[in-house]
Structure 1
Amino acid sequence: MVSKDTQIVAVFVVLAVALWYGSMAVTEDTIIGLAILIGVGIIIPTIINEWRTSVNN
């Protein structure tokens, strides 16, 4: 069974890649693409998982 934390990260990684791909269709700016990948794929799921951990304890 996959943990809830892993499921959240996986969903946001897929979302980040989709948003990155969409942003590359609109703009060629790699900084925007990198910010989307890091922000949506790493930072947001980390914040959500840390919040869930603190609420459950």
Structure 2
Amino acid sequence: MARDPLLTSETKVTLAFMFVGLTAWYAVRLFTANDLLEMGALFGVGIVLPTLVNELRRRRDPD
């Protein structure tokens, strides 16, 4: 009986990018006062990039 991993590779990618996105948001907040850049860092790095990476990985590996 094979056990499923606790965290899938997609979840690990998402968590890593969420951490990087929060760090980018905090860094942008420290150095600029631009709300648009803050939101771009948070959503772009934390949500859009992991979605793209996971989709590319899913399409390359036809399991």
In the superposition, the TM-score normalised over structure 1's length comes to 0.95
Q: Give 2:13's aligned residue.
A: 8
The sequence identity of aligned pairs, in percent, is 26
Which portions of structure 1, spanning 4 or more consecutive aligned residues, are displaced by more than 2 angstroms? none
In the superposition, the TM-score normalised over structure 2's length comes to 0.87
Bigger share in helix: 1
Q: Give 1:23's aligned residue.
A: 28
Q: Give 1:44's aligned residue.
A: 49
Consecutive unaligned residues of structure 1, counting only runs of 5 or more, are none
Larger relative contact order (CA 8 Å, sep ≥ 6): 1
Instruction: Indicate the structure (1 or 2) with the bigger Cα radius of gyration.
Output: 2
